Structure 1
């Protein structure tokens, strides 16, 4: 397994925890990001820091600067809108910034066809 492939595996693990760790009736898959968002300020901060780990892994794996900027915008939107009561929690459920960022990194690294 190559270094970028190992990095993507780590990114997918973190994204899975943040965006789809728990299967809830009616709602579907929910991750720690929207659940942490229920704790004002501190929860959103913790979720953003965990999401930034994915960006750091992508940078280490050799993702382009353009893709890293897009990933940072995703995390920033998620963090900023996630702080809005109620609306932010719904946004966290739908936006799934970490999943988006893993897809961006995989595409940039040419690994988007792999599982």
Structure 2
């Protein structure tokens, strides 16, 4: 038979007293990665000195970045999505986007989401509405035609919406005064 609500909420006193007495015993030594014991005197402050601040670290890809760093990340992601690999024996380049889109429906949604995130990054870089509208048009064409089972995947490899969006953003940034 299963446990009653009372047994779940207030377990048997025998077990809880055994746990309490084991907790009351002196804790074992703290050992570092090399197997050396760390003296208790150095642990008085706890582990508060071991804090990480990823928000202001260079290891955080979503932290505060300069415009050049954002643009470099934008271009790197677009290249990864569209032209990262080469089909052996040919000069046809494809990216992660083309591989993801081979998964029916879910792959198309994920690839379109990545492309839309890049458009959002372009907007964060200061791209005006007419540039982002053209970028959204590229993503829409890529997403809608990509829904067609095999022809859409071939179209995606050849259309390269993310690289087109990089060129649009680059062209707009080159026209801006420094």
Relative to the length of structure 2, the TM-score reads 0.58
Q: Tell me the distance in 2 between the aligned counterparts of 1:5 and 1:12.
A: 11
Shift of 1:3: 3.1
Pairwise CA RMSD of aligned residues?
A: 1.5
| Unpaired stretches in structure 1, ≥5 consecutive residues | none
Q: Tell me the distance in 1 between the aligned counterparts of 2:81 and 2:72.
A: 14
| Unpaired stretches in structure 2, ≥5 consecutive residues | 1-64
Q: Tell me the distance in 1 between the aligned counterparts of 2:103 and 2:91.
A: 19
Runs of 4 or more above 3 Å deviation: none
Q: Tell me the distance in 2 between the aligned counterparts of 1:65 and 1:83.
A: 27
Instruction: For CA contacts below 8 A with separation 6 or more, give which structure has more relative contact order.
Output: 1
Question: Does 2:131 match 1:67?
Answer: yes
- Match for residue 98 of structure 1? 162
Question: Does 2:70 match 1:7?
Answer: yes
Aligned residue-pair number: 110
Relative to the length of structure 1, the TM-score reads 0.88
Point out the structure with max Rg over C-alpha.
Answer: 2
